[in-house]
Amino acid sequence: MGVLVCSVLVLALVGQSHSYSVRNPLDRFKRFEEAAWSDPNDCSQTRQPFVLSNPYNFSLDLRMPRVVPRESDSYYCLAVPVPTSWEAYVVDFVPHASMDTAHHMLLYGCRTPYSTKGYWDCGTEQGTCEDEAKIMYAWARNAPPTKLPKDVGFKVGGDTRITYFVLQIHYGDVKNFRDHHRDCSGLTLRMTSKPQPYIAGMYLMMSVDTVIPPGNAVTNADIACTYQSYPIHPFAFRTHTHRLGKVVSGYRVRNGQWTLIGRQSPQLPQAFYPASNDVEVKYGDILAARCVFTGEGRTTKTRIGGTSSDEMCNFYIMYYMDNKHSVPYMDCMDHGNSNLFRNIPNEANIPIPVSPDHKMSMMHGSAHKDGEDDSVLQQPKREEEEVLDQGAHLEELDGWPEVELQLGQVSGLALDSDDNLVIFHRGDHRWGVNSFDNSAIYQQKSLGPIQQSTILVVDPVKGNVLKASGRNMFYLPHGITTDKDNNYWVTDVALHQVFKLSKDEKEKPLLVLGEAFKPGNDRSHFCQPTDVAVDPETGNVFVSDGYCNSRILKFSPEGRYLSDWGAGSVDRRRRVPFQIPHSLAFLPDKRELLVADRENGRVQCFMADTGEFVKEIKRDEFGGEVFAVSYAPVHGGLVYVVNGESPYGHSAPLQGFVLNYSTNEILDTFAPDTQKFKMPHDIVVTKDGSVFVGDAAADSVIKFVPSERAEHRSVKKGGIEVQEIEETETFVQANLKPIHKPLEQSPKATVQKLPEVQEKKPVPAQQEKTPEEKEKEKGKIANKASAQGLSPGVITTLLLLLPLVLVIAIGVFIRWKKSRMYGDGHEVKLEPSGSSGGLLGKLRGKAAGTLNLGNFFATHKGYTRQGFDRLSTEGSDLEKDDEDATDSENEEYSAPPPPVSASR
């Protein structure tokens, strides 16, 4: 009998051992046996990391192995394998952490963590996983456990691509470890092997490029994406910012109706809270979120980033969906359409009251001010409210330059310290299909260098040449910039070189980088370099290289190589390399470098000191190609770009764009009125807000000015200055009663203030209209005036003006009689007047340009009409006065022959 009992006991022990060998591979967790139980700051207690409660259910502990962070803002990671080789489901999370030690904690799932031995510093280049890391859970600020609904679980193991859990903990202030205690913070995962009918997932909405100006009471970070998958059911949400966040809200938008998913103060425990409404998100719905920040108390700009001095804007949606169509992880990082957020519910702008008992003393916390007003935060003006306050639409300045310039393909533009325009052009050389072979070696060396002056310094007001240089030096010029000493930095794509040239026009370059006619990709060679930018503070030089290479190189002022880098990305796994980094702009107020990535149709921003990627500006309106970028440090930063025609059939209209640096919003678009852009190749903006665009295919430079300067301009004719105001503007102002209330805004207007106008620039007079047209236009305006009704003051004004009108009418009649005497051969040119932005431009309508006193007087003896034809090598129908010729003491420049091939 005793033998029988012993045999049964032995068999039971063997069976139990066999069962645990299948269900519980503890040999994978030996290094975690010394794990904490509940108190993350007490690592003295021990427990098993893997606990099997029944044949189907088990739990897994993930704990930091007694770590001591050595510096603030440390990120430590720990990888633990999924304890089964088949599919399993995480049905609950139990956090073990405290704000006394950990700032926040994230759980990821992946196949290949960066390390499987102990913990590692994952705040450096290593990161969390070598493959794509999928977020499963997030915790911060003493959060309570999150409960998943019944029959819902996160699927792991098997073929889910999640074979490892990676726990990441951000330790904020290292001062909390001054007592040398060790930390065992972590999570307990409750799991089951039973298939769940519904699969849990995470939808992360995150702002990646918000900038919070110092002192601003309110800054909004908006995120929105159109949902394009099977229905999901949000059941929990989490908000996350650092100390500047006031309130974070998330919504489903369907047919214009906003339904709240969750809204919370990020200064409260940043747990997963139950969704505010039982909503379903279907294909075509919009998911939208807003974070409201304040910059009060800050003295510098705050950006999105991983340190405690940076900010974050995250809205997590935990959802479930049917097992058959499950997509467990999705994200949204688009800022959405500004028109959408005009209808966001007012509650999104109201901070959540937080009692002092719930405040956290962690360095990332935000102290509640006594008497803080919890009413609606004063939001910034919407775009339609900013139209009159914030400036003018850019319009072509018709008739600039006043003298004809002889140009070839205009490849580069720059400004010197006096805001004079510097033009870099190719003279009689053209970039054609036969210019290079497949190895990027120049094939037309036999033509010799360009004999014309390739660098012209031009007066930005009148367009006459002040200096000319650069003869017999270049083969195919491309980019140009100036440094603080007004030296020129230029690139030549045929020579594969970068040159520093003296402002004093010395023949020998001050510095040459690269080897002539020899392309390469090492530190001392370029391959068709495109542009140069110079840091005015350090003198460091940045080169975009180029058509063959996809990189940015950084050199010291003496030409010593410092570093280089390629394209950047928020997600390194989805990084898209440069495709022709074509243009550079240095941001002195932000110490950043803008790169126009031509074929990718985007602008990328990098820290000038480190080359670290900051943000990307990419808009559908660009149409796939961005040729050039410029920058003005006004109104928080304005970015100017010009687009190009895409060879892939996704082209948008060729035009210029003005964008808000912080929000990436398009504030204005502009294009010439008298012709179309052919190949806008470079762009610069002056201190007074004037914009110059060089067109490589049209061999021209076009000037744009804010509309108020186009509407009212001062013109000098024959030594007498005449204030030129179009007739319709005068009549409108005379007949409209004063309006003291705010003018009605158009909801479609998106124009923001451009740089202030310092002075009015002289521009050409418009062509005179025939007397018949003048009488017809005056009749139309008179009818409008009578229909509106006249006040006594207006009638008095008209009576006083009547003698002047009579004198003008007599003069017009005399002029008409003379034209009849000269016969039909006397040609009178009629040109449409340029469109005017702003309110007056809308009121003038088609009647603009009715009466032009400047043109009237200019047709009489003793006054001259100077030539104001467009800058071009095609010549002009108008004769130029001898006094307009520019006798420069510098090199002469001559006209190149007509174009023969396409350009780049």
pLDDT at residue 221, rounded to an integer: 95
Express each pLDDT in 877-898 by its tens digit: 333 333 333 333 344 344 454 4
Above 50 in pLDDT, residue 45? yes
Cis amide linkage into residue 546, ω under 30° from 0: yes
Give the C-alpha separation, 413 to 681, whole Å: 9
What backbone torsions phi and psi does residue 655 show, to the nearest 5 degrees?
-165, 175
To the question of whether residue 368 is assigned a binding role by annotation, the answer is: no
Whether the pLDDT of residue 779 is over 50: the answer is no
Banded pLDDT at 487 (limits 50, 70, 90): very high
99 is annotated as contributing to ligand binding: no
Name the pLDDT band for 23 (thresholds 50, 70, 90): very low
Q: Is 170 annotated as a binding residue?
A: yes
Side-chain half-sphere CA neighbours of 538 within 13 A: 16
Range in 396-405, 749-758, 797-806 the model is least confident about: 749-758
Is 860 an annotated catalytic residue?
no
What integer pLDDT is reported at residue 425 of this predicted model?
98
- Full 3-state SS string of 527-557: CCEEEEEECCCCCCEEEEECCCCCEEEEECC
821 is in an annotated binding site: no
Domain ranges of the chain: 15-196, 200-366+375-380, 408-711, 713-754+761-873
15-196: CATH topology:
Jelly Rolls (2.60.120)
- Checking if the pLDDT of 280 tops 70, the result is yes
Give the H or E element holding residue 734.
helix 727-735
Q: Determine whether the annotation assigns residue 426 to a binding site.
A: yes
| Predicted pLDDT of residue 47 | 54
Instruction: Tell me how far apart the alpha carbons of residues 336 and 630 are, in angstroms, rounded to a whole number.
Output: 24
Tokens of 272: 């997963």
Q: Decide if 660 contacts 646 (C-beta within 8 A).
A: no
Region 340-363: what's the mean pLDDT?
72
DSSP string, 684-699: EE-TTS-EEEEETTTT
Question: Is 840 assigned to a binding site?
Answer: no
Tell whether residue 425 is among the known ligand binding residues: no
What's the CATH fold of domain 200-366+375-380?
Jelly Rolls (2.60.120)
Is 242 a catalytic site residue? Answer: yes
- Residue 364, annotated as binding a ligand: no
For residue range 488-517, what is the model confidence (pLDDT) as tens digits? 999 999 999 999 999 886 778 999 999 999
Cβ contacts of 91 within 8 Å, gap of 6 or more: 148, 152, 153, 154, 190, 191, 192, 196
Strands (E), 426-494: 455-458, 465-469, 477-482, 488-492
Residue 534 and residue 501 in contact, taking contact as beta carbons nearer than 8 Å:
no
Whether the domain at 15-196 and the domain at 200-366+375-380 fall into the same CATH topology: yes
Residue 358 annotated in ligand binding: no
Show Cβ contacts of residue 319 under 8 Å, excluding neighbours closer than 6 positions.
200, 201, 202, 203, 232, 233, 234, 235, 281
103, 335, 364, 393: the active-site residue: 103
Least confident of 154-168, 465-479, 719-733: 719-733
Q: Does the annotation place 413 within a ligand binding site?
A: yes
Give how far Cα 852 sits from Cα of 544, 724, 849, Å: 48, 7, 7
What's the token pair of residue 198?
A: 């519904």
Q: Which residue among 96, 206, 242, 318 is the active-site one?
A: 242
393 classed as catalytic:
no
Q: Which residues of 130-150 are buried (b: 16+ CB within 10 A; e: fewer)?
A: eeebbbbbbbbbbbeebebee
Q: Which residues pair with 291 in a beta bridge?
A: 221, 248
d(CA 450, CA 884): 26
Q: Please determine, for residue 656, whether its predicted confidence score (pLDDT) is greater than 80.
A: yes
Higher-confidence position of 33 and 336:
336
Instruction: Say what the pLDDT of residue 291 is.
Output: 96
Task: Provide the whole-model pTM.
Answer: 0.45
Catalytic residue among 96, 168, 206, 655: 168
Contact between 851 and 726 (Cβ < 8 Å): yes
408-711 CATH fold: Neuraminidase (2.120.10)
Res 901: pLDDT:
43
In the predicted model, is pLDDT for residue 752 greater than 80? no
- Sequence-ordered list of residues with C-beta below 8 angstroms from that of 865, at least 6 positions apart, any chain: 717, 765, 855, 858, 859, 878
Residues in the chain: 904
Q: What percent of the chain has pLDDT over 90?
A: 47
Q: Are 587 and 631 in contact (CB under 8 A)?
A: yes
* 731: Cβ contacts below 8 Å, ≥ 6 apart: 781, 785
Specify the range with the lowest mean pLDDT, choosing from 122-136, 448-462, 780-794. 780-794
Judge whether residue 567 has pLDDT over 50. Answer: yes
**pLDDT surpasses 90 at 618:** yes
pLDDT at 809: 79
Which of 96, 170, 364, 425 is the catalytic position?
Answer: 170
312 is in an annotated binding site: yes
- Active-site residue flag, 650: no
Question: Distance (Å, rounded) from C-alpha 201 to C-alpha 227?
Answer: 14
pLDDT over threshold 70, residue 766: no
Mean pLDDT of the chain: 76
Query: What tens digit of pLDDT does each residue of 431-448 get?
Result: 999 999 999 999 999 999
The residue annotated as part of the active site, out of 99, 136, 312, 318, is 312
The answer to whether residues 222 and 118 touch, using CB atoms and an 8 Å cutoff, is: no
**225 residue type, one letter:** C
How many CB atoms are closer than 10 A to CB 355?
A: 8
Catalytic residue among 104, 364, 425, 496: 104
Return the ∠ at Cα 348 (arms to 338 and 271), rounded to 5°: 120
* The predicted structure's pLDDT at residue 747: 36
Q: Is 582 annotated as a binding residue?
A: yes
Give the pLDDT of residue 793: 58
Is 170 among the residues known to form the active site?
yes
Q: Give the mean model confidence (pLDDT) for residues 612-637.
A: 92
CA-based Rg of the chain, rounded to a whole angstrom? 35
